[in-house]
Amino acid sequence: MSIKTIATTPFTDQKPGTSGLRKKVTVFQSAHYLENFVQAIFDTISAPAGSTLVLGGDGRYYNREAIQIILKMATANGFGKVLVGQGGILSTPAASAVIRKYSTYGGIILSASHNPGGPDGDFGIKYNTANGGPAPEKITEAIYARSKTLTSYKLIEAPDMALDQPGSFTLGEMQVEVIDPVADYAELMESLFDFAAIRALLGGGFRLCFGAMHAVTGPYAREILERRLGAPNGSVINGVPLPDFGGGHPDPNLTYAHELVEIMYGAEAPDFGAASDGDGDRNMILGRKFFVNPSDSLAIIAANAALAPGYAAGLAGVARSMPTSAAADRVAAKLGIPCYETPTGWKFFGNLMDAGKVTLCGEESFGTGSSHVREKDGLWAVLFWLNILAKRGLPVEEIVYRHWAEYGRNVYSRHDYEGLPSDAANALMAHLKAQFEALPGQRFGSYQVKFCDDFSYTDPIDGSLSTGQGLRIGFEDGSRIVFRLSGTGTEGATLRIYLEAFEPDPAKHGEDAQQALAELILIANELSELKLRTGREQPTVIT
């Protein structure tokens, strides 16, 4: 099989965001588009000849076709071996686990995470380095720079490979090993958690419902929850991965995981509910008619970490993204360990974990994880909660209320305004920033502004500086409002408004978050001129 060099012209729009390059499927299907970006990755990382690469994705539309193209390009670019998930499937945390277990040079993950799938939906691709985590900014910027200058890409002409059964095959001079996508990940989970205790919980009448949202975690949840832990068959719903996620939006929140929410808020609700997203790295946790805020979930996992065998030796530290509530900070302070505040994007946690500074990390956007991999991990968080429930013998709601009674409650919510015109969203942010010099000292109802800034972060490990990470308005009582434009969408702009207030009084811990934050919501809308500038009166999603 001879190597072909295909002449091409550069694209100017292949700048990776916080989680790789995401575009519409139709964009990736256009001539040379995927190939150019893959060649830019290969040119940038300069893998030594014979290196091993991990390859897989979340099963969304165009996943299989893209994998065939990448395999043919990998052999033409000198890779010696590719580990590819059976059927082209590998959840994002499982891919990270495989990279780390087999010490590969890196991996390519095909996913647009929680974005919709299907022929008219989204597609994504990102490169993960040898530590199993997303490529840091210095690499993604170099990939982007290369994508704007390359004039050709390399591949071999060969038939598509059969990927639906495990086994080893050759493609040109490269070995392709089709691996069970679940086995290595399940083995890792069994080493971290007390499966015997969870098995006893599930065998004692405790009922759970896991919503896989027709996304990648269906096979993982069925193997671990139903087969290995003994949950009854059917405990995993929507467990067959589909290229269009069954027509749904694979984002595990109260709006899009509506089937699970209806079950958990119904008359015969199970004891525990959970969901994961398109590529398996996010999670939502529910009790009976009770939602656990992701910021609280991170804090509760940290406070109860010693109950899980893999974390019984203690935590090195905790890290959270800037928009995530300070609930985890309070736990870290009591444990006497550091808590780091980073920009949004899992790659910022990688340096801290590699340096042994943190064990647990999380983002308010339904992402939680630990140093067992270098990605957030949805099913891992679900298993951690089951481990806690098995050991403490309390309902989900009671565990949360007891946590608040001990640490206080960081009342928290995020309001998403999706699909805004980019010009309007950018103008809104500019309007906010223009007020920063005059805002400190001003009073708005019960709140007096203490500071305003545009969050920046100097990495304590490599000294790299990240700027423009979100606009913060902090108040004298510790409350705050954060405005940020998300980098995970493919159409228009998504404005996220984060609202947080601390409530130490247990008598007020049962108050609805939106009611408790009502005054801050009005202040956020007033300062941003939201309705005037966007025409929106209500968020698309509230979490």
Say which CATH number the domain at 119 has: 3.40.120.10
Do residues 302 and 403 share a domain? yes
Would you say residue 488 has pLDDT above 60?
no
Angle of CA points 358, 106, 315, to nearest 5°:
10
Say which CATH number the domain at 430 has: 3.30.310.50
pLDDT for the residue 537:
87
Do residues 217 and 131 share a domain? no
Do residues 402 and 420 share a domain? no
pTM, entire model: 0.93
Q: Which of 407, 431, 460 is the last residue of a domain?
A: 407
Please state whether beta strands 167-171 and 443-444 pair in parallel, antiparallel, or not at all (unpaired). unpaired
Would you say residue 74 has pLDDT above 80?
yes
Tens of pLDDT, residues 4-47 = 999 999 999 999 987 799 999 999 999 999 999 999 999 999 99
pLDDT for the residue 408:
96
Alpha-carbon distance 187 to 228, whole Å? Answer: 11
Tens of pLDDT, residues 126-166 = 999 999 999 988 899 999 999 999 999 999 999 999 999 99
Alpha-carbon distance 143 to 355, whole Å? Answer: 25
What are the structure tokens assigned to 310, written together?
A: 């893999």
The burial class, CB within 10 Å (0-12 / 13-18 / 19+), for 32 is middle
Q: Which of 407, 430, 463 is the last residue of a domain?
A: 407
Do residues 25 and 115 share a domain? yes
Do residues 415 and 394 share a domain? no
Would you say residue 489 has pLDDT above 70?
no
Alpha-carbon distance 236 to 218, whole Å? Answer: 7
Count: domains in the chain: 3
Alpha-carbon distance 137 to 347, whole Å? Answer: 8
Give the mean pLDDT of the chain.
95
Do residues 174 and 320 share a domain? no
pLDDT for the residue 345:
80
> Which member of 113, 276, 295, 321 is catalytic?
113
Q: Which of 135, 155, 181 is the last residue of a domain?
A: 181
Do residues 175 and 202 share a domain? no
Do residues 267 and 394 share a domain? yes
pLDDT for the residue 113:
87
For 197-253, give the secondary structure using H, E and C: HHHHHHCCCCCEEEECCCCCHHHHHHHHHHHHCCCCCCCEECCCCCCCHHHCCCCCC
- Residue-number span of the structural domain to which 508 is assigned: 409-542
Tens of pLDDT, residues 377-420 = 999 999 999 999 999 999 999 999 999 999 999 999 999 999 99
Do residues 66 and 156 share a domain? yes
pLDDT for the residue 496:
95
> What's the rounded mean pLDDT across residues 504-518?
94
> What's the rounded mean pLDDT across residues 456-460?
93
Do residues 36 and 115 share a domain? yes
Tens of pLDDT, residues 318-341 = 999 999 999 999 999 999 999 999
525 pLDDT band (50/70/90 cuts)?
A: very high
Strand order in the sheet with 208-211: 236-237, 208-211, 272-276, 283-287, 290-292
> What's the rounded mean pLDDT across residues 193-216?
97
Q: Is 152 a catalytic residue?
A: no
Do residues 156 and 31 share a domain? yes
487 pLDDT band (50/70/90 cuts)?
A: low
Return the half-sphere exposure (C-beta side, CA atoms, 13 A cut-off) of residue 15. 5
Q: What percentage of the chain has pLDDT greater than the value 90?
A: 91
Would you say residue 59 has pLDDT above 80?
yes
Would you say residue 491 has pLDDT above 80?
no
Q: Name the phi and psi angles at 377, rounded to 5.
A: -145, 105
pLDDT for the residue 490:
55
Do residues 338 and 456 share a domain? no
The burial class, CB within 10 Å (0-12 / 13-18 / 19+), for 312 is exposed
Residue 102 CA, distance from chain mean position = 23
pLDDT for the residue 213:
96
275 neighbors 210 (Cβ within 8 angstroms): yes
